[in-house]
Chain A
Amino acid sequence: MLTILVFISMAISIALYSAVVLIPYLCILFLPKDLREHCMRSFIVLNLGRAVIHLGLRPFIRIDYRDEAGTNTPPGIYVCNHRAGTDAFLMALFGVEAVQIVNGWPMKLPFFGYNARLAGYLDSTKIPLEEYPKLFKSLIDNNVNVIAFPEGTRSGSRNMNSFHSGIFRLAMELGIPVYPCCIAGNERFPDRSFHFHKSKGIIVKRLPPIMPETYRNFPSAFVFKKRVHDMIQQENQRLDAELDSR
């Protein structure tokens, strides 16, 4: 029952939001590519995420956002753990212009995939490895953050899968700040079969950035990914305990 209600609520929130932004959206479609991508990211997609969170999800679950990174933070790579399908929407809580790196199939979704492509989201299955440094440099130079889920797939539980090191290698190569981000509480909201279950809440937390001067002396990207992985895992254990005590 909860699953049906959440899906209906999300569908209504998306429909309402689409109706409100229809005219600006149509105008954006005719803009040059760079400007169109900027408008899609910083307005259409960002607020779509907000609409889904506030209108679609919050009636059913408490969602808290905590920021330990401060204000006026430089653009960087947001490294998040990945428990559930709602993670992609929760990224709107950061309130920054960003692209997400996605693993092929989300780009093929009828509505979300189309908008993700318009916003310049990165399909990791289609971009050759050697193009990433240039691509990332261009994004960061234009104040666009990159959101990555280096586990590669949803864990569907409180366990964290190991990270892939590619994103950390790029950060080290280009000297980009890395923001470890924690998402706790949504491991069954929804589960891996897209069924929503009652939960005590979701907490999203942005930790202080790890700056190049900190990771410069790490012996390898492997060490960098392990440190960030452990940092997120430890913080998530605290957040899970807090949610359990509610």
Chain B
Amino acid sequence: MNRDKIIQLINKIFVDKFELDSQDLTPEKKIFEDLELDSLDIVDLITGLQHTFQIPLRDNKDLLQIRTLQDVYDLVEKIIAEHPEVIEKLEK
């Protein structure tokens, strides 16, 4: 799975779950300040990411470092790279 596909799927979560305009979803956008999510909304984001990518996220300590959309893209890409079986599942 290439990075563009990962970004596309993550952006789809933001559009579907939070009804954000896809035009607003640029990598430098700050999750809390610009997109106006709060700490509880992050729970919905994690659920969406887990569901879409079938990756374990809830106990991931790197989640605490997320500030921008770019951070979300990087984190998901890193976890997918660590779990090759996920790519196979997603490509099926």
Q: Which A residues are closer than 8 A to B by beta carbons?
A: 162, 164-166, 169, 219-223, 226
A239 CA to B17 CA, complexed, in Å: 32
Q: Interface segment, B22-30, B35-43, B75-83? A: B35-43
Complexed CA–CA distance, A169 and B44 (Å): 11
> Is the CB–CB distance between A169 and B18 below 8 Å?
no
The B interface is mostly helix, strand or loop, or mixed, namely helix
> Which of chain B's residues have a CB closer than 8 A to the CB of A221?
40-41, 44
- Supply 6 further A-B pairs (C-beta < 8 A) apart from A219-B18, A223-B18: A165-B41, A166-B38, A220-B44, A221-B44, A222-B17, A223-B17
Which 9 pairs of residues, A with B, have the shortest CB-CB distance? A162-B36, A222-B41, A220-B44, A222-B18, A220-B17, A223-B19, A165-B40, A164-B38, A219-B17
CB-nearest residue of chain A to B16: A219
Q: Are B19 and A219 in contact (CB under 8 A)?
A: yes
Once bound together, how far apart are the Cα atoms of A126 and B61, in whole Å? 26
Q: Is the CB of A222 within 8 A of B16?
A: no
B62 to nearest A CB, angstroms?
Answer: 22
Set of chain A residues within 8 Å of B16, measured between Cβ atoms: 219
Query: In the complex, A219→B20 CA distance in Å?
Result: 12
What DSSP secondary structure best describes chain A's contact surface? helix
Q: Give B contacts to A, CB under 8 Å.
A: 16-19, 36-38, 40-41, 44
Which of B17, B18, B36 is the most central at the interface, judged by chain A CB atoms within 10 Å of its CB? B36
Smallest CB separation, A112 vs chain B (Å): 28
B18 and A220 contacting across the interface, CB-CB below 8 Å: yes
A169 x B36 contact (CB < 8 A): no
Contact B36 A220 (CB under 8 A): no
Most chain-B Cβ atoms within 10 A of its Cβ — which of A162, A164, A166, A220? A220
| Residue from the set A162, A166, A222, A223 with the largest chain B CB neighbour count within 10 Å | A222
Q: Which residues on the B side are within 8 Å of A169 (C-beta)?
A: 40
Contacts of B40 in A (CB 8 A): 164-166, 169, 221
B33: nearest chain-A partner, CB-CB: A162
**A169 and B43 alpha carbons, distance in the complex (Å):** 11
What are the residues of chain B within 8 A of A162 when measuring CB–CB? 36
How near does chain B come to A65, taking the closest CB pair, in angstroms?
Answer: 30
Roughly how many angstroms separate A162 CA and B38 CA in the complex, as a whole number?
Answer: 10
> Which residues from chain A contact B18 at a C-beta distance below 8 Å?
219-220, 222-223, 226
Q: What is the minimal beta-carbon distance from B65 to any residue of chain A, in angstroms?
A: 21
Residues of A within 8 Å of B17, CB to CB, are: 219-220, 222-223
Most buried by A among B17, B19, B38: B38
For B41, the chain A residues whose CB sits under 8 A away are 165, 220-222
Chain A nearest CB from B49 CB (Å) reads 13
B26 CB, nearest partner CB in chain A, Å: 19
Of the A-B pairs whose beta carbons lie under 8 Å apart in the complex, a sample of 14, sorted by A's number, is A164-B38, A165-B38, A165-B41, A166-B40, A219-B16, A219-B18, A219-B19, A220-B18, A221-B40, A221-B41, A222-B18, A222-B37, A222-B44, A223-B17
